A and B are shown apart, each in its own frame.
Chain A
Amino acid sequence: MGFSDRGKQCLLPEEALYLMECGNLQVLYRDLPLSIQEGYELFLTLETVSLQQYQVFSHLKRLGYVLTRFDRSTVPTQYERQLNLTHCRDKQGKHLKRKRSQSPTARYPNSAITPSTHTTPHFHRPRTETPSQGEAMESSSNSGGTPGRSWWIREGDDPQPTGTQNPDPRWDFMTISFPDLGSRRTRCESLASPEPSLLPGALRVGSCDVGAWLGKLNLKQERLSRRERERQRYRDRYKRDVNNDPEVRRCRNWAEYAELLERRRSQRRRERPANLWEGSVTPLTQPGECLSHGELLERISVVEPSHLFDAASRLASSDEWSICFNVYQPDTVAEFKKSDPGRPYTRLCICSFDGPVPELHAIKQLSLQSGDVPVTFAVVDHGDVSFYCFKDFQLPVDVVS
């Protein structure tokens, strides 16, 4: 409990009141001790926590749970979670470690960054990334002024040879024969000089003797293991390589290939009755496309199942519902650290039986806010607290895929 601010140890109102109720704390106000009644009246105000929030707080606290106030900025965003960034917990201006030192230099160990670095606050994270990633970020922020350089470029990379970008259209590789030196059948000791039309400019290349070099070449026949042979057989039998298709091989460029595909498609269309396949309503699946019942069912399901997180990030935020507390389980109390609290067991949103039930909108939003931690709704009914939570439910599918 508690936090420290400018070298002083402070308690939040609900914490102070709870300790008072436990008989562990005496609060002096204008040199006089506060009674618990006064504590209720002074600490539970509009600006702090409501009586209901306090009732939930003290209810769980009495059971041994650890509760901290929920701070939205400590939850990693969905983007950060996707990148698997370890989240920066100790931000500037808020350090959780208990320190009595009053000296301003020692207060924020994190702010000891020289102002000359041009890292934007967005990039200011603890150095936990891999070095290359860090470098990439540095270089990107450094090269912000030069427009020609791409975002991901690295100094060590050799640039792409630009000469090969535009190959000569005259070169037809079907007609150019390359010498097959490994072949046993054509044991040639020397290579003939290449055709002069293929060579640039005034370059002259004579015939080449490769006899000495052939001796170093591994000319043993490739031997496949049984497993590899089986795999090869399977491949030959069931997998069709698009390159083995003679019609495809006959294509000389992409345009011809596209033409071929179009031709085939129209042919296929001719095989299918138009009343089924060419109306405004067409079958959801093609013949031969699905291999199992499960796949077929999935293909023809018109209404997609939706999850709690879906589209939640696009919803407009409202202030009507908010998460109040992080809850950590009692058995973690021994190793619980405020500076590194870890993942909460759950997060609490507090409401009352008199109030409305949260809409789906609010539930989605709160669960998005909370990230990967479930949100529990604590409903207070005149001192009686009950906990409810909304969960995604996956309908069972009977067909085994």
Chain B
Amino acid sequence: MDSLSPAHAADTSLSDEQLPQQRNGLRGDEATGTDIYDKTRPSGQVIGISFCRDTPLLWRVAELKTAREEFGVIGSLVGSLARQPRQNVRLGRPLELLNEEAQLLSQTGKAVALRNVESEEEEGNSEAVQRYQAYLDRNYEEQKALALEDKKAVLQRVKTERHNCNTGGEDVEKAVQKRLDSLDKSFSFPRSAMAIQLCTARAGLSHCPEERSFLAADWPMPQDARSQMRFGVFRDLRRRGFYLSSAGKFGGDYLVYPGDPLRFHAHFIAVCVSMDAQMQLYDILSIARLGSNVKKTVLLCSPGNSEEEEEVVYTSLQWSGMA
């Protein structure tokens, strides 16, 4: 079995920096966020949203950055972290988006839905295979040279240590020297020991804009009244500068953060209710009780009924404190 290096990289030009993951919920280290982004980000980038069945996913680091910085779209990382796969505290790409987040991105015109390309023609494939084999050969040669240098360095170090110790290890030193000399001829680097790279994002297509437009698909998400209402609330809160993430655990629709979730605790739990929906008193009481338990304010968010007026009415629920 080949020994694989766990380096995921979309392509070499992108830095393989992983975004620290912010999970839903209350975490003590929320406020320790440091600015991990460089300011020289590529602007004008079009974000490609790929779909795993119905779930929108982002795969490229640059796109993750753009979405977070320019559009305040947080999403949640769901993949294994390449260098530390066996833990759940910090996860890696892909970034799963809420349907509303994907919709918001697409409305800005800076994002397109990509359809899953099945397969190219056979000739193209054989050419790609040849390219890949050539790449592997090249890579093998490079790794072989590096491994040889590595080994030499180790032997050299052993030799100098022996020399410094000066404890009568003359013959040992000589043996090491001899091995060092013959290393160039005798060194073997088996092909199976080669490290190979596993790509996180798909290579090839979908980088340049022309191919993007070729791949762009219709928006695959169905729209019903409930998702429209949720989107209305999401867009309005986002426009007011809040950051949002899903709040399934809190029994609401969104957790609302006053700033980037890396820096802030959520202040509100948003529950989307249609303007003319009847609500059971039980439900209101239970979410109010829950909100006060987790020290958050529950917001009942109802988008206005008129189509042109995109007003959302917010009602908060709190214990009045009167006995």
Residue numbers of A with Cβ under 8 A of B are 18, 20-26, 30-33, 35-38, 40-41, 44-46, 50-51, 55, 58-59, 62-64, 353, 379, 381-384, 386
* Chain B residues in 8 Å Cβ range of A38: 202
B-side contacts of A58, CB under 8 Å: 80
Q: Is the CB of A35 within 8 A of B198?
A: yes
Partner of B4 from the list A26, A32, A37, A55 (CB cut-off 8 Å) is A26
Query: Which residues of the other chain, A, contact B297 by a CB distance below 8 angstroms?
Result: none
Distance between Cα atoms of A293 and B2 in the complex (Å): 73
A311 to B307, CA, bound (A): 51
Chain A proximity of B191: nearest CB distance (Å): 14
Residue B76 interfacial (CB < 8 Å): yes
Enumerate chain B residues within 8 angstroms of A383, measured Cβ to Cβ: 76-78, 91, 96
A24 to B203 alpha-carbon distance, docked (Å): 20
Q: Which residues of B lie under 8 Å from residue A37 when comparing CB positions?
A: 50, 57, 59, 94, 199-202
- Which of A21, A31, A382 makes the CB contact (< 8 A) with B246? A382
Q: Which of A31, A379, A383, A386 has the most CB of B within 10 A?
A: A383
Chain B residue nearest to A386 in the complex (CB): B249
Check if B19 is an interface residue, CB within 8 A of chain A. Answer: no
**Is the beta-carbon distance between B53 and A44 smaller than 8 angstroms?**
yes
Q: Do A35 and B52 touch (CB < 8 A)?
A: no
The reply to whether A379 and B59 form a contact with Cβ atoms under 8 Å apart is no
Which secondary structure dominates where chain A touches chain B? mixed
Residues of A within 8 A of B245 (CB): 382
Nearest residue, chain A, Cβ from B92: A21
Can you list the 8 inter-chain pairs with the closest CB atoms, starting with the nearest?
Answer: A23-B6, A381-B248, A353-B248, A35-B199, A383-B76, A21-B80, A383-B78, A22-B85
Give 22 CB contacts A-B under 8 Å.
A23-B5, A23-B6, A23-B8, A26-B2, A26-B196, A33-B198, A35-B201, A36-B200, A41-B50, A41-B52, A44-B52, A45-B53, A51-B53, A353-B248, A379-B248, A381-B24, A381-B248, A382-B245, A382-B248, A384-B24, A384-B76, A386-B249
Q: A51 — which chain B residues lie within 8 A by C-beta?
A: 52-53, 55
Selecting from B124-132, B170-178, B312-320, the interface stretch reads B124-132
- Contact digits for B16-33, partner A, Cβ 8 Å, 1 yes 0 no: 000000011100000000
Closest CB-CB distance, A59 to chain B, in whole Å? 6
Verify A381–B198 contact, CB threshold 8 A: no
CA distance A33 to B139 in the complex (A): 15
Q: Is B278 an interface residue (CB 8 A)?
A: no
For B96-139 the 0/1 string (1 means CB < 8 A from A) is: 10100000000000000000100100000100110010000000
Q: Are B76 and A21 in contact (CB under 8 A)?
A: no
A381 to B253, CA, bound (A): 11
Asked if B304 is at the interface (CB within 8 A of a chain A CB), the reply is: no
Tell me the smallest distance from the CB of A283 to a CB of chain B, in Å. 39
Is B39 located at the chain interface by the 8 A CB criterion?
no
- How far apart sit A51 and B55, CA to CA, in the bound complex (Å)? 8
Whether B87 is near chain A, meaning CB under 8 Å from some CB there, is: yes
Contact of A382 among B2, B76, B80, B116 (CB under 8 A): B76
Contact of B201 with A23 in the complex, beta carbons under 8 Å: no
Chain A residues, CB < 8 A from B79: 21, 36
